[in-house]
Amino acid sequence: MATETTSAVSSCVDSHGSAIGMPQLCFEWFPNQIFWLVLTLIVIFLVLSRIALPRIASVLAERQGTISNDIAAAETLKAKALQAEEAYNKALVDARAEAQNIVAGAKADMQAELDVAIAKADAEISAKAAESEKAIAEIRSGAMKSVEDVAKDTAAEIVSAMGGNATAKDVGAAVAARLKG
């Protein structure tokens, strides 16, 4: 447009290099501005639409996916932990019940053994007692007989000492009569 002027001075710039009016309204520059603007916009558009925006979109999607995967994994792990806790509690209850069973079993066994021992002891004791009673009865009967013998002997001696003369048969009868009371 301003090709006829050889210096920088144009209709928009004075000889001192200062602007005449508003440089924004200098229509000489418009073709240049429009050309470079369109070129700039095309370059930015191509860079954004071909490289930058798809890349950022994929990164954002990937991050979203990672986050939701992590949340899902965390939930799975939480469920597993709950299951493990339940299993643990169940095992604890089982073990407790078993222990009680064992204790009860042991107690019953011991009781049975004890009962057997007690019965055995009782039997022994009663056998011993019967034996003793028998011995006592023997001793007692032996003693009664001895008393009769001693009484007969003593009575015979006393009679002879007194100058009597009694037969053994008479003394025996007399003692027996007395003993009968």
Partner 1 sequence: MASADKAAEGSSLVFHPMDQFIVQPVFSEGAIHWYTITNMTLWMSLAVICVVGLMVVGTSRRAIIPNRSQSIAELAYVFVYKMIEDVTGKDGLVYFPYIMTLFLFILFANFLGLIPMSFTPTAHFGVTIVLAFAVFFTVTILGFIKNGFGFLGLFWVASAPMALRPVLAIIELISYFVRPVSHSIRLAGNVMAGHAVIKVFAGFAAIAVISPLSVAAITAMYGLEILVSFIQAYVFTILTCVYLKDALHPSH
Binding to partner 1, residues 1-60 (CB under 8 A) = 1-3, 5-8, 10, 12-13, 16-19, 21-26, 28-38, 40-41, 43-45, 47-49, 51-53, 55-60
Which residue, among 44, 21, 42, has the nearest Cα to 29 in the 3D structure?
Answer: 21
CB neighbour list of residue 178: distance below 8 Å, 6 or more residues apart = 151
Terminal-to-terminal C-alpha distance of the chain: 180
C-beta of 25 vs 119, nearer to partner 1: 25
Task: Give least dist CB 72 to partner 1, A.
Answer: 16
Q: Cα dihedral sign for 139, 145, 148, 153? A: negative
Task: Give least dist CB 77 to partner 1, A.
Answer: 20
**What are the E-state strand segments in 17-97?**
none
Q: Interface with partner 1 by CB under 8 A: which residues?
A: 1-3, 5-8, 10, 12-13, 16-19, 21-26, 28-38, 40-41, 43-45, 47-49, 51-53, 55-60, 62-63, 66
